[in-house]
Amino acid sequence: MKNKYNMFVDKHYKKLVIGLIIGVLMGLIMHVLIISNHLQTNRELSSLLKDRRETIAVMEPKIKSLESENKTLKETNLELSKEEIQKEIESKITKLKDEESELSLNKKSLSDDIKSLENDKKRLEGDIIKSKGAPKHYPAGKLTVGKDIDPGRYKIYNGSSNYIVRDSFGGLQVNIILGGRLGVDEYINTFVEGDEIEARSSFSLLPIQ
């Protein structure tokens, strides 16, 4: 017969064994769960990695195409920029040349105007200094000095046609064209008594010294 001590040991030994078995089983279960989770995570990571690789494989040609287009666009923009700069420079050069030409024309025109004004000034100063009386106006036709016109020195102007003067013997003294593109604006002549004047247009005479 078993004594009380042996019964106590057997009872607790069985509990200990059962506890150990349960602990081992729990450990195995936890290990299995951990491995299962790792496997699931690895499968998910593998799937995600596969998707990423497929995405990269699809996008890589597009990325290369975009890089090529970007390079071409930069080169095109650079060429366009050079052309635009060249065109702008040529436009400015042309504009400066036009301005220079215009200034030259204005300078020449101004110079001509100054010369014309200086001539007018000299002419007016000469008329003021040399004038002996008021100008007289005559119609076209034949006139005789001493009868129609007083003898003396005159400035002839304001005509627009042939102007001829002959002496009393018929000798030609003056043969000019007053006014017009081919004529002169004014002419100075000394008339003596008996001179014959033939004018094809009206004219003016200003007596001068």
Kindly state the average pLDDT of the residues 66-93.
72
pLDDT at 129: 44
pTM, two decimals, is: 0.40
Residue owning tokens 């003067």: 165
Coil, strand or helix: which one is 193?
A: coil
- 209 vs 11: which has the higher pLDDT: 209
Kindly state the average pLDDT of the residues 110-127.
64
Instruction: Centre a 10 Å sphere on the Cβ of residue 164 and count the other Cβ atoms it contains.
Output: 15
Which of 189, 140, 188, 186 has its CA nearest to residue 167?
189
Kindly state the average pLDDT of the residues 132-147.
92
Give the pLDDT band (50/70/90) at residue 23: confident
- 104 vs 127: which has the higher pLDDT: 104
pLDDT at 29: 78
pLDDT of 201 higher than 90? yes
Which of 157, 161, 153, 208 has its CA nearest to residue 180?
161
Residue owning tokens 């995600």: 48
Please give the distance of CA 44 from its chain centroid, rounded to a whole number: 66
pLDDT digits (tens, 9 = 90+) for 24-38: 778 777 776 777 676
What tokens does 93 get?
């050069």
DSSP E strands in 100-195: the ranges are: 136-138, 141-144, 152-157, 162-166, 172-177, 186-191
pLDDT at 196: 97
